[in-house]
């Protein structure tokens, strides 16, 4: 059985139902980030050449963001700007995902999850996914 980026989004939406507890809001934020991450990963895989990843040891997520921000395709290609914009927006989504999953003392509310959800939809539009 396979799973798609939109399945992560649907899961996040279900968690954000009326009266969601903080744990649901945090989990929804995390699901929305992963939906954006997988959309961006698929987009990046379709590019004629991968983005430039600087030397050093980076995790999968950080590498993808760096590659999206530094595309190696022609500047005139519409996917060039899309790659950089989506990479930039993913940085904050990722930070919010880490906050949701690790920073348990930080205040976290509906507005944080709704922002991540709305940013996900923008990334989908930018990437055409």
Binding positions for other proteins, rule: CB under 8 A: 59, 61-62, 69-70, 81, 84-85, 88-89, 91-92, 94-95, 98-99, 102-103, 111, 114-115, 117-119, 121-122, 125-126
CA–CA separation, 102 vs 94, rounded Å?
A: 12
User: CB of 127: closest distance to other proteins in angstroms?
Assistant: 11
Closer CB to other proteins, residue 27 or residue 65?
A: 65
* Listed residue (13, 1, 3) closest to 120, CA to CA: 13
Closer CB to other proteins, residue 27 or residue 127?
A: 127
Report whether 92 contacts 111 (CB < 8 A).
no
- What is the full DSSP assignment across 41-64? HHHHHHSSSPPP--SS---HHHHH
* Listed residue (44, 84, 81) closest to 64, CA to CA: 44
CA–CA separation, 16 vs 127, rounded Å?
A: 24
Closer CB to other proteins, residue 22 or residue 85?
A: 85
User: CB of 122: closest distance to other proteins in angstroms?
Assistant: 4
User: CB of 92: closest distance to other proteins in angstroms?
Assistant: 5
User: CB of 5: closest distance to other proteins in angstroms?
Assistant: 17
Closer CB to other proteins, residue 11 or residue 123?
A: 123
């Amino acid at each position: 059985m396979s799973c798609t980026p939109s399945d992560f989004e649907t899961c996040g939406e279900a968690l954000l139902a009326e009266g969601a507890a903080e744990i649901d809001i945090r989990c929804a934020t995390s699901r929305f980030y992963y939906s954006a991450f997988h959309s961006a990963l698929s987009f990046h895989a379709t590019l004629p050449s991968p983005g430039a990843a600087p030397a050093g040891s980076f995790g999968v997520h950080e590498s993808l963001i760096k590659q999206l921000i530094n595309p190696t395709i022609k500047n005139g290609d519409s996917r060039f700007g899309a790659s950089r914009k989506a990479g930039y927006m993913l940085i904050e989504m990722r930070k919010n995902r880490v906050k949701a999953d690790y920073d348990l003392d930080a205040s976290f509310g509906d507005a944080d999850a709704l922002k991540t959800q709305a940013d996900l939809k923008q990334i989908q539009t930018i990437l055409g996914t």
